[in-house]
C-alpha cells in the first residue's frame, strides 16, 4: 500500500507490497521486524501491517517486538538504524517506510489533485491522525484546507 516511487499513478508496480511479493516469488526469504507499539501512545497499528505483510507470500515472515507489558520493558525506541551485508545476506533496518515520510527536496505542502501523496500519505499529524490504516488511498485530510507536513530525514 506504500508507494516507493512518485508520481504514484505512473508507478503502480512500485508499491512496497508488490516489490516484496515479486522477490518472495523468486525464492527470497524476507524477514520483517515491526515495532510493536503501545497502542495508547502510538497509533501505527502494527497488527494491521503484520497481517497485510503475512498475506503477501509464505516467504515473508513478520515479527512484532518488543512485548512491552509481558517483558516489563518500557524504555524502548523505534528509531534504530542498521544495515549489514555479508555478500549473501542483507539486513536493512530503521527505515521509516510509512505514510507521511516520502518527500522531495522541495518539501511541498500541497498536492491537489493527488499525484505525489495518495490518500493517507498526505499526512499532517498536527491536524489529524488516520482513523484507520485500511483503504489507504482514501484521503484523511481536506487537501484544500490543510497542508501536508513536510518530512526531512538525514541518513
Residues 79 and 147 in one domain: no
Q: Which of 57, 76, 95 is the last residue of a domain?
A: 95
Same domain, 67 and 123: no
pLDDT(77) > 70: no
Could you tell me the pLDDT band of residue 79, with boundaries at 50, 70 and 90? low
Say yes or no to pLDDT of 51 above 90: yes
Model confidence pLDDT, tens digit, residues 80-133: 556 666 777 777 766 778 888 888 889 999 998 889 999 999 989 898 877 777
In this prediction, residue 148 carries a pLDDT of 94
Instruction: Identify whether residues 20 and 63 lie together within a single domain.
Output: yes
Q: Which of 62-66, 75-79, 101-105, 112-116 has the lowest mean pLDDT?
A: 75-79
Please indicate, yes or no, if residue 1 is contained in any of the structural domains: no
Domain count, the chain: 2
* DSSP code for 125: T
Please state the three-class secondary structure of 28-94 as a single string: CCEEEEEECCCCCCCCCCHHHHHHHHHCCCCCEEEEEECCHHHHCCCCCCCCCCEEEECCCCEEEEC
Q: Phi and psi for 34 in degrees, rounded to 5? A: -105, 145
Residue 154 has pLDDT above 70, yes or no: no
pLDDT for 153 equals: 67
| 103 and 91 co-located in one domain | no
pLDDT by residue (tens digit) across 8-36?
989 888 899 999 999 999 998 888 888 88
Do 79 and 127 lie in one domain? The reply is: no
| Domain identity same for 55 and 104 | no
Comparison of pLDDT for 53 and 69, the residue scoring more:
53
3 state SS of 14 = helix
Q: Name the pTM for this structure.
A: 0.80
* 19 within domain boundaries: yes
Q: Which domain holds residue 107?
A: 99-155
Residue 16 and residue 52 in one domain: yes
**Mean pLDDT value of segment 144-150:** 94
The answer to whether residue 2 sits within a structural domain is no
Q: Indicate if the pLDDT at residue 138 is higher than 80.
A: yes
Q: Is the peptide bond before 113 cis (omega within 30 degrees of 0)?
A: yes
pLDDT at 76: 67
- Structural domain ending residue among the three candidates 95, 110, 134: 95
Amino acid at each position: 500500500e506504500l508507494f516507493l516511487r512518485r508520481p504514484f499513478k505512473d508507478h503502480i508496480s512500485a508499491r512496497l507490497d508488490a516489490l516484496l511479493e515479486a522477490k518472495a516469488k523468486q525464492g527470497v526469504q524476507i524477514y520483517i521486524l515491526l515495532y510493536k507499539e503501545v497502542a495508547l501512545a502510538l497509533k501505527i497499528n502494527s497488527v494491521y501491517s503484520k497481517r497485510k505483510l503475512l498475506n503477501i507470500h509464505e516467504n515473508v515472515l513478520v515479527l512484532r517486538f518488543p512485548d512491552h507489558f509481558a517483558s516489563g520493558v518500557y524504555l524502548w525506541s523505534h528509531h534504530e538504524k542498521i544495515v549489514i551485508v555479508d555478500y549473501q545476506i542483507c539486513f536493512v533496518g530503521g527505515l521509516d517506510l510509512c505514510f507521511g515520510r516520502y518527500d522531495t527536496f522541495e518539501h511541498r505542502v500541497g498536492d491537489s489533485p493527488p499525484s505525489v501523496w495518495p490518500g493517507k500519505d498526505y499526512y499532517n499529524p498536527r491536524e489529524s491522525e488516520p482513523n484507520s490504516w485500511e483503504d489507504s488511498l482514501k484521503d484523511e485530510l481536506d487537501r484544500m484546507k490543510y497542508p501536508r507536513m513536510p518530512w526531512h530525514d538525514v541518513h
